[in-house]
Chain A
């Protein structure tokens, strides 16, 4: 597709369950970002991948959060043992180069009951 694709668009889960969120970046984009946006709040940086470099994980809020990017393309954000405070919209963005313009997906809305 032409844009960044995220799935699922909506996910409702029970507290304590694990969830996986997927991001398909724009083809050829080397940089990939994950952000979290709680209701009415600004974007919170989670993790950043750039090519084959080690990811910048400085924004991950706890060790329950992890992400990987396979083959320099698709990325998966995993949240283990979900908590109610994890409820938010998780946004993925890709960029053609380091520090370049970001192209965002439509987000995955996570609701933890």
Chain B
């Protein structure tokens, strides 16, 4: 069964600190992996999209990694800001039709 699991479920950090969010997937065949940021009450916004051949991809203070062998991805946030408080969702594209398998997200709270 195609599944995407994220950890931790929630996380609280202090402003300025770094953090890493994890995503494990059992999706086959793999097409791509995406990270989205969803602010409360808003629609998700794309952070990164990675294909099989990409190991790392950055978007400002966000860096995503992908290990296709172990089927794991991480999202690292550097020098966190209060505006980083949001839900971070890992999404894996599956198969030729690129059906998207959504994780439940990690809820991040950045406190002053």
Contacts and interface: CB of A to CB of B under 8 A. Distances in A.
A59 to B, nearest CB: 10
Contact of A104 (B43, B99, B104): B43
A107 B104 CA distance: 18
Contacts of B100: 45, 102
Contacts of A101: 34, 46, 49
Interface residues of B, number: 20
Nearest to B104: A42
Contacts of B31: 99
A52 interface: no
A16 B46 CA distance: 36
Which label, helix, strand, loop or mixed, suits the secondary structure of the B interface? Answer: strand
Chain A interface helix/strand/loop/mixed? loop
Nearest to A9: B41
A56 to B, nearest CB: 8
Interface in B83-112: 89, 93, 97-100, 102-105
A98 B45 contact: no
B92 to A, nearest CB: 12
B1 interface: no
B24 interface: no
Interface of A: 4, 41-43, 45, 56, 91, 93, 98-99, 101-107
Interface of B: 31-32, 34, 41-46, 49, 89, 93, 97-100, 102-105
Given A43-B89, A101-B46, 10 more contacts: A41-B104, A42-B104, A56-B97, A91-B43, A98-B98, A102-B44, A102-B100, A103-B46, A104-B44, A107-B43
